[in-house]
Structure 1
Amino acid sequence: MAAAAAAAGEMAEAAARLRRLTAAEPSTRLESVRALTGLFRQAQPREMAEESLFRDLLEILMSASNEIEQACKDSSELLDLDTCLVLIAECFRCLRNACVQCAKNQHVMRNLGLIATSVHLIKLLDGMKVKEEPLLIAFRCSLQFLGNIAAGNGDSQNSIWKCAFPDLFLTCLTYSDEKIVAYCCMVLFTCLNSEKVKELLDPGNLSVALHIIKVYKEQLESEWSLLIVTDYLLQCPELVKALYAKLSNQERVTLLELIMARVSEKNSFTSEEMNVFMRHADFLAGCFQEKCKAVLKLTSAADAEDEEALVTIRLLDILCEMTSNNGQLKYLQTLPDLLETAIDTLRLTHLAGKQTVNIFTTTHSMTWQEEISHPAVGFKAHLIRLIGNLCYKNKENQDKVSRKFENLTNATLFDK
């Protein structure tokens, strides 16, 4: 009881001090906001916070916005920018802390309009020419606040989506500061759901999903971008197809590796997840059939890093993995042209290896360095694996293979 009374007393004193100083200079208001930030690290003061306190913080942020706008319009306006930015950052820290596991405060802040005000202020910060540390810190704290007010709160998530999608997300995903990009991914992940993912299919919004792939590729330590891809983007086959068409070959390899990791998981899949995977399988099989001959470029050492060929190799890897799963295997076995494409590609790689000594030559003696670095190592073996999987317990496919090779002996096709 004594601790609760003391916390209530501290809260009342800090709130009253802030109210008295809302019109004071930024440096004076800063200490009062810092005191509240510290108090909101504890659950009890968060629960005790009254609406008037958040209204005061909103007033400070709106005043700071007006000052920045005025200074940007009139260069003769005097503004202690660093102090103003430090105050903005502290206000967002305070609001961020007040949201933690406190739905009451989240609702109060949203109803006061703090989400819209924050998004407006972020746009102002982005438009400022000075990109020094005080501005970056304020920018980061604003995104952390949006992440916390959205956490576990559907109404706040919808409000942020309405205010920030897609423009603000695009701005932050392409920002030069890695922390801002990471915090933006956190906010985006928190706000997404299966319905909002469908909005990414709109041609004007697809850039958001494209930039998520780019972020993951360039910042592999970004956990939030990975979660967005695995938990949302990969759950929408139409979106994967649209993304694939727009990505560079390097980015396609990244996307395919993420699909491969998901397919390789040993967890059992629900019927809905299996349906998604079968639609992925259909699309990826079509991509492989279209581009499989690109691997023949790898007969030249100079083309060992050919990006289109590397994409084809990844496609084959995924198809091998998918045909190792009974649920996806049965579907892939019914695709009319996949088996024939695999057989024809195997024949072409074999012939390419006989024409000159190259990576497809069965007698080609590679150095240890070539063994571990050449992307085509194992390609023929994977083709044979795919063909074998497609024939597994499938008499029709077995007969197709027999007919295809009726004029060829095993010694001719698979000589060592």
Structure 2
Amino acid sequence: MYKFTNLSAHKPTSFVSLTGNEDALPVIEDDVSFVPDIQRMMYGLGDVPQPHVESAALIESITLDQILSLLHQASEIMELRGGTVLAPEDILFLMKRNHKSLKRLITYLGVKDEAQLHSSALNGNLPSGAVPDIMTIPETEEDILKFPQVDLNTPLDWKKGRKKYCLVFLKNLNIEESDLNQLVDLAKETRLNRINNIALSLSPMAYESFHAARCKSFCSNNITFGRFLKWVAKRGGWNEEISQPVLDILIYVAKETVACVVDMVMTLKEEADLKTKKCSVLSSAITPDEIREVIRQCGKKTQVAVYENESIIPNLFAFVHKMHLVQPPNPDSTLAFSVGVQCIANLMSNNDTMRNYVADNFAPNISEWLKTEGSKQQNYVCAVLLNLDQVGKLSRELYNKEFVRDLVRVSESGSEFGILLLQNFISCHLFRQLYDSGEEEQKVFLLQLLDSMITDESYYAAEVTAMCNKFKKACDRIMTEVPSAGPYSALELAILLEFMCSTSYKSGYISSFQSDSSLVVSSSYLLRGIHEVVSQKKNWKESLKEAVDVLKNKNSEMTNKPFFGVKGNLIRLLGNLAFRNKRNQDLVREAGCIPIILDSCKLDGDNPFIKEWSILTIRNLCDGNPENQTFIKNMNYQGCDFSVAQELSLSLDGGEGSGINIAPVLRRS
């Protein structure tokens, strides 16, 4: 049976030495968290003195995602240039279109150079013509192993000036320092003004704490490089080498990410205050919901920017389709296809304009992508299709049998978005199109999916009625064509019967079931036919042994039989149909099923719980029906298999009247 539940956490791998020597450092087992540090940073950026732990944890997760994304993209640039170790050039190349971010980074590196210069001058250790970098001096033997000296193959060494090093490379990209200096960074100015206003309102003692919070970063005071690297490695699963120059930039990017999130939340609060005429910017702490909202708005802006660029979307779809056509698939094409499809799904999320555009221009290609290999890739494709269904542009594909069969196939394999898409179709009363288009073995899955969605309400009455009619036709087909009935005919009947049993007792459907007298007749005569066939092939010993084997899970072949459980479910269905319904109670008696149900009050390996269902059905047949009660009362002894009685050491003799005397048989020694 399939299980349908609402739909995994990433398990980072062990930390590996950045030198490539795995024996140099032990595997780090302790967890690393920057949540307390981020709380202090949030206070220094404008939040309340005691920020919410949940908000800091969410920002930590966002920051780590940004760092990992930057590392992965920089690694691709490194491979394209033929490098073996990440260098600042790789990150600067990624940032080349965002001049404001470049300006902030260059300014930060320049301040860092000056700070190191002043520190060295005060200590009397200033080398001639160089700006020493005391942050690159290893603090422990462990740090020496983590910070290999990387040959950057440039005229200027990173130690001699970070800012100048970056400007030399940016000049090769036609980005001059003068161009960066002319930029007006309103977001940064707004941040500084907000912080300055807070500082002016504080007492000297409170300002001391606020100043310490402003100075907090991912590598300050007692926070070492090693802790940041452990965080990236253990929490993020990054095990590649990170050079010291790249580490400097990553630490800046991490702090800047926290600052940008706080900036956006503060802007959101200010906009809300303008509408409500309140002042909550400085009085209330940043909440996780506010952070999620600003992230959602960022995604929306990206969607708009992509949509306005007429060439991006067609080129993206052409690239993804090209990767889909690569045969046989290779790791590179599979990864490219996965990332491309995820990007398309994200672009359409909560964006009906984008959904309609994609549906009108690329729906046939997306349907074809369902044939791709790999469960993850199939799930991503279903996510795209689910977005198309949100604007009603996918129902027309249900007339394409190949599409339906591909969708059911990937859903059967466990695709969460595929199951959600099928549930959407069923909710829109499109189940019959799915059922008629699916392959024989897929109908079992679809019926079980429909069954999982049915509640006590009669929302799916049309679908249930249609399946009831199919069940009656299946009964007639089985009764007339038993020798030629294929395995899927029997399997379909069995799963239809199980569906009828699980639905017929629900308050929203029981009246429609009980009003169908032909269903009672078809079920009764099928029960008679199955009972006659089975009683000729098996004796009570075989039934008992099979029942014990099933209970002990030793006979898996029996549970895979097409008619496994059918007799028990027929009795169960008749019990539901006869519940407080005299007409149906009489129909069951007139069809001659009461003796069969009484005879079924025993263990049977082919029909689990048939004894219990039979007893309950007899109770429902007799409830408020004197005729059925009298019928059972007047039943008398007509014969018994003597071997059965002998095996039980019993003697059955006709006594006075119409009763039966049961006496023990004394065995001779």
- With the length of structure 1 as denominator, give the TM-score of the two structures: 0.67
Task: Tell me how many residue pairs correspond in the alignment.
Answer: 330
Cα distance, 1:19 vs. partner? 12
Cα distance, 1:293 vs. partner? 5.8
- Contact preservation (8 Å) 2:45, 2:259: no
- Alpha-carbon distance in 2 for matches of 1:335, 1:296: 20
Q: For residue 121 of structure 1, what is the amino acid of its counterpart?
A: F
Cα distance, 1:281 vs. partner? 0.8
Q: Percent sequence identity over matched residues?
A: 20
Q: For residue 137 of structure 1, what is the amino acid of its counterpart?
A: L
Structure 2 CA distance for partners of 1:397 and 1:174, relative to 1, 3 Å = same
Corresponding residue for residue 243 of structure 1:
434
The one-character-per-residue Cα deviations of 1:299-343 (angstroms, maximum 9, x if unpaired) are 99xx9x933212211111110111110111112222352121111
Corresponding residue for residue 317 of structure 2:
119
In the alignment, structure 1 segments of 5+ residues that lack a partner are 23-30, 49-97
Structure 2 CA distance for partners of 1:129 and 1:401, relative to 1, 3 Å = closer
Corresponding residue for residue 10 of structure 1:
101
Q: Which region of structure 1 is more displaced relative to structure 2, 372-381 or 254-263?
A: 372-381
- Contact preservation (8 Å) 1:333, 1:397: yes
Corresponding residue for residue 595 of structure 2:
411
- Contact preservation (8 Å) 1:182, 1:224: yes
Corresponding residue for residue 380 of structure 2:
183
- Contact preservation (8 Å) 1:347, 1:413: no
Q: For residue 246 of structure 1, what is the amino acid of its counterpart?
A: S
The one-character-per-residue Cα deviations of 1:184-239 (angstroms, maximum 9, x if unpaired) are 011111231373343233x3x4432321101122x22x211111122x122243x3
Corresponding residue for residue 258 of structure 1:
449
- Contact preservation (8 Å) 2:404, 2:438: no
Among candidates 395, 400, 404, match of residue 587 of structure 2? 400
Q: Does 1:233 align with 2:425?
A: yes
Q: Which region of structure 1 is more displaced relative to structure 2, 323-332 or 305-314?
A: 305-314
Cα distance, 1:258 vs. partner? 1.6
Cα distance, 1:357 vs. partner? 2.2
Q: For residue 10 of structure 1, what is the amino acid of its counterpart?
A: S
Structure 2 CA distance for partners of 1:388 and 1:125, relative to 1, 3 Å = same
The one-character-per-residue Cα deviations of 1:17-54 (angstroms, maximum 9, x if unpaired) are 699589xxxxxxxx9xxx9xx89987948x99xxxxxx
Corresponding residue for residue 559 of structure 2:
373
Structure 2 CA distance for partners of 1:21 and 1:390, relative to 1, 3 Å = farther
- Contact preservation (8 Å) 2:530, 2:567: yes
Cα distance, 1:296 vs. partner? 7.4
Structure 2 CA distance for partners of 1:194 and 1:352, relative to 1, 3 Å = farther
Q: For residue 214 of structure 1, what is the amino acid of its counterpart?
A: R
Structure 2 CA distance for partners of 1:374 and 1:144, relative to 1, 3 Å = closer
Among candidates 404, 411, 416, match of residue 209 of structure 1? 404
CA RMSD, 1 decimal: 4.1
Q: For residue 409 of structure 2, what is the amino acid of its counterpart?
A: K
Corresponding residue for residue 307 of structure 1:
488
Looking at CA atoms only, which structure, 1 or 2, has the larger radius of gyration? Answer: 2
The one-character-per-residue Cα deviations of 1:268-301 (angstroms, maximum 9, x if unpaired) are 64xxxx33x211111111221122367679x99x
Structure 2 CA distance for partners of 1:3 and 1:21, relative to 1, 3 Å = farther
Corresponding residue for residue 370 of structure 2:
173
1:17-416 matched pairs, under 5 angstroms: 20=173, 44=260, 101-113=298-310, 114-129=312-327, 131-165=329-363, 167-193=364-390, 195-201=392-398, 203=399, 205-217=400-412, 219-220=413-414, 222-230=415-423, 232-237=424-429, 239-263=430-454, 269=457, 274-275=458-459, 277-292=460-475, 306-357=487-538, 364-367=543-546, 368=549, 369-370=554-555, 373-375=559-561, 376-405=563-592, 410-411=594-595, 414-416=598-600
- Contact preservation (8 Å) 2:356, 2:388: yes
- Contact preservation (8 Å) 1:260, 1:318: yes
Q: For residue 163 of structure 1, what is the amino acid of its counterpart?
A: N
Corresponding residue for residue 606 of structure 2:
none
Q: For residue 325 of structure 1, what is the amino acid of its counterpart?
A: K
Going by fraction, where is helix more abundant, 1 or 2? Answer: 1
The one-character-per-residue Cα deviations of 1:74-112 (angstroms, maximum 9, x if unpaired) are xxxxxxxxxxxxxxxxxxxxxxxx988521221121121
Cα distance, 1:352 vs. partner? 1.1
Higher relative contact order (CA 8 A, sep 6+): 2
Q: For residue 196 of structure 1, what is the amino acid of its counterpart?
A: K
- Alpha-carbon distance in 2 for matches of 1:159, 1:194: 11
- Alpha-carbon distance in 2 for matches of 1:41, 1:157: 30
Q: For residue 415 of structure 1, what is the amino acid of its counterpart?
A: D
Q: For residue 435 of structure 2, what is the amino acid of its counterpart?
A: Y
- Alpha-carbon distance in 1 for matches of 2:301, 2:326: 34
The one-character-per-residue Cα deviations of 1:336-372 (angstroms, maximum 9, x if unpaired) are 52121111111111111233228xx797334303486
- Alpha-carbon distance in 2 for matches of 1:390, 1:210: 34
| SS at 1:189 equivalent | helix
Q: For residue 462 of structure 2, what is the amino acid of its counterpart?
A: R
- Contact preservation (8 Å) 1:99, 1:105: no
- Contact preservation (8 Å) 2:307, 2:354: yes
